[in-house]
Amino acid sequence: MGNDEKPTSPGTTNGKTKGSGAGLSGGVAEANKKLTNKHVGSTTEKCPATNQIIAVEILDGGEKAAAGTVKQYVNLSRDAKWVDGNQIKNTDRLSEILRIRVRFQKPGTEKITLKLIPDGANATYSDKEKVRNAKYRYTDQERGYVTQKDGTKIVESGISVAAAGGDKYWVEAQDAWGKKVRSTAVETIRRLYLQEVTTKGLARLAADKIQAVQKEFESHKVELIPLQAVQQTVHDGKVRQSADTDAFKAAVAQGYQGSQGKQKKPYVVVLAYLHSMAFRRYIELVWPKRKVGPGVNDILLPLSYKKGDSNYLWADRAGRMSYGARFTPQGAGSSRAIEFKMGRIHPVIASTGPADKYDRIRLQVKNLTPKVMSGTIEVIAYIINSSPAGISFYDDNVVAFCQYCDWKRMLQDDHIRVLVHEIGHKIGMVSDGGDLDKGKFYYDHNTGSPQNITTSHWGPHCSCGLPPFDQLTAGAYDIDAKKEATFKIIDVNKGTLTKVKGKPSCVMFGMVGSRAAFCKDCGNKIRKKDLGNPQKWKNWKSRLM
């Protein structure tokens, strides 16, 4: 049959009704006449096909049919550089597009329809999610094709699965006679690469800890493939201000240039090693009714007004602290203020902690003035505003964990939680509604209306396990909920403390806790997330490539 000819209708050959030719006995002719009167699709009897479909196959390299269920790496582009000869043996296992072959019994051009059959347990997307991202839709309509003259058809495009991991599909093909055949299964998975850039002098994370991070993401159908580690030797990993951040990232970039990760762009997450991070905040404290002058003993002043609330002096990478003080006599203007020379100002080590943890200032006020005077003492200083355990750097593909946090050496099990958390940030957690629908327990540093709540946890986080934040009144809150069954919410402005029953049950909570796993809602979001376009991931617009 030529390419321009239409397939013959059921019960005919080249337009002539079967059984109408001469030489047939009357009984046979009559029987065939009755047979041709049966229409296609009859529930009792169908016309015999001249050429029936025999197979629909998932192709697995060239014209080789898959022997069983195959993994489809839906986020990786169809590029030979991803083929590793192990789990990914050919480019057919890459991207969301399937290569399919249909075969008939005999040569001839035949009409066929193909459609994807999804498993009932596949991830589900809302209508809004499908509108925001076309890759959240699989090919859910039948597609019509015509075979080649040899009775086969290879479909190179047009049949696509959705972007989620852990989904399962089959391809169903039907010929013009109503016969259906089904392919072997396709299971979807995503893959990212993890490139360690260690820092000279800092201990490398144990292999089993990396494996624990891998295991958590694998449970949500994301493979994290570790690459051979490289080292940067330029920066000591101590970050104290924005200039240090830039210098550290430049050092990481330098070490990264010779890594395997450079060949894995854009699907590589860079894991960098920090000694510690401590960001500063400027404070001014005013202490009225203080005496200075001959015979007056030293004055010890805390770095906070609130009793029991400690602040600590910030120091740069060289250990230099920034502070000052001045005395203004009562009734005098600022023009008469007396500056304390540095020899009169002494940071005081906190009662607990290492030698560089200072929470008070001792002022030598004796003979500051010729005679004893009363007035106001003002103290200015940079204090530590935050000391993160890890960070997902904005605008690139780097996450980092700190070996020290709040003067304490972090446990390696803590590093697991930090890395799961920060890699979660890097791939868009917690969802703010810009791609996937907003996370059920989403909160950030400014949760907004109607309560106008702000928190000390910067960025998108998950409050699963805690009472809804909308129960709070308007204000700024510091949340302390590490491992306690009763967690604390501190009103920063009022200084009040509220204790609420609850315990964070998601690794995406804004503090390092005891949990290294995603909650059900966040885990479901990770499974559904389109990881095929890093430009659409949260905070990933440029890369160290």
- In this predicted model, which residue has the larger pLDDT, 8 or 457? 457
User: Where does residue 68 fall: left (phi above 0), alpha (psi -120 to 50 degrees), or beta otherwise?
Assistant: beta
For residues 270 and 254, give the distance between their C-alpha atoms in angstroms, rounded to a whole number: 12
Does 1 score more than 80 pLDDT?
A: no
**Cα 380 vs. chain centroid, distance in angstroms?**
40
For residues 496 and 254, give the distance between their C-alpha atoms in angstroms, rounded to a whole number: 47
**Cα 113 vs. chain centroid, distance in angstroms?**
38
For residues 507 and 424, give the distance between their C-alpha atoms in angstroms, rounded to a whole number: 9
230-232 vs 276-277, strand pairing mode: unpaired
70-98 pLDDT, tens digit per residue, is 999 999 999 999 999 999 999 999 999 99
The pTM (predicted TM-score) of the whole model is 0.82
Does 539 score more than 60 pLDDT?
A: no
Q: What is residue 373's predicted lDDT score, i.e. its pLDDT? A: 96
Does 543 score more than 50 pLDDT?
A: no
Q: What is residue 45's predicted lDDT score, i.e. its pLDDT? A: 42
* pLDDT, the chain, mean: 84
Q: Which of 299, 307, 349, 355 is nearest to 325 (CA)?
A: 299
Q: What is residue 114's predicted lDDT score, i.e. its pLDDT? A: 98
Q: Which of 390, 529, 399, 523 is nearest to 464 (CA)?
A: 523
**Average pLDDT for residues 510-527, to the nearest whole number?**
91
Banded pLDDT at 335 (limits 50, 70, 90): confident
Does 348 score more than 50 pLDDT?
A: yes
Q: How many CB atoms lie within 10 A of CB 191?
A: 22
338-339 vs 345-349, strand pairing mode: unpaired
**Average pLDDT for residues 223-236, to the nearest whole number?**
96
Q: What is residue 3's predicted lDDT score, i.e. its pLDDT? A: 37
Render the burial of 79-101: b for 16+ CB within 10 Å, e for the rest: eeebbeeeebeebbbbbbbbbbb
Please state the φ and ψ torsions of residue 280, each to the nearest 5 degrees.
-100, 160
Q: What is residue 38's predicted lDDT score, i.e. its pLDDT? A: 37
For residues 545 and 531, give the distance between their C-alpha atoms in angstroms, rounded to a whole number: 18
**Average pLDDT for residues 189-218, to the nearest whole number?**
96
By percentage, how much of the chain surpasses pLDDT 90? 66
Tell me the HSE value of 45 on the side-chain side, using a 13 A CA sphere: 8
Q: What is residue 91's predicted lDDT score, i.e. its pLDDT? A: 97
Lowest mean pLDDT among 50-54, 143-147, 352-356, 540-544: 540-544
Does 268 score more than 50 pLDDT?
A: yes
For residues 278 and 238, give the distance between their C-alpha atoms in angstroms, rounded to a whole number: 8
Q: What is residue 406's predicted lDDT score, i.e. its pLDDT? A: 83
281-326 pLDDT, tens digit per residue, is 999 999 999 999 999 999 999 998 877 678 899 999 888 999 999 9
Does 184 score more than 90 pLDDT?
A: yes
Q: What is residue 327's predicted lDDT score, i.e. its pLDDT? A: 97
- In this predicted model, which residue has the larger pLDDT, 217 or 410? 217
**Average pLDDT for residues 226-255, to the nearest whole number?**
94
Banded pLDDT at 503 (limits 50, 70, 90): confident
Lowest mean pLDDT among 1-10, 162-171, 324-333, 500-509: 1-10
What's the Rg (C-alpha) of the chain?
Answer: 35
**Average pLDDT for residues 19-34, to the nearest whole number?**
38
Banded pLDDT at 173 (limits 50, 70, 90): very high
Q: What is residue 37's predicted lDDT score, i.e. its pLDDT? A: 38
Does 197 score more than 60 pLDDT?
A: yes
- In this predicted model, which residue has the larger pLDDT, 149 or 510? 149
- In this predicted model, which residue has the larger pLDDT, 23 or 489? 489
**Average pLDDT for residues 235-262, to the nearest whole number?**
93
Q: Which of 220, 543, 216, 232 is nearest to 399 (CA)?
A: 543
Q: How many CB atoms lie within 10 A of CB 363?
A: 21
* 3-state per-residue secondary structure call for 405-445: ECCEECCHHHHHHHHHHHHHHHCCCCCCCCCCCCCCCEECC
For residues 404 and 183, give the distance between their C-alpha atoms in angstroms, rounded to a whole number: 54
- In this predicted model, which residue has the larger pLDDT, 452 or 364? 364
Tell me the HSE value of 22 on the side-chain side, using a 13 A CA sphere: 0
Helix (H, G, I), strand (E, B) or coil at 171: strand
436-453 pLDDT, tens digit per residue, is 999 998 887 765 433 455
Q: What is residue 494's predicted lDDT score, i.e. its pLDDT? A: 56
Residues in the chain, total: 545
Does 349 score more than 50 pLDDT?
A: yes
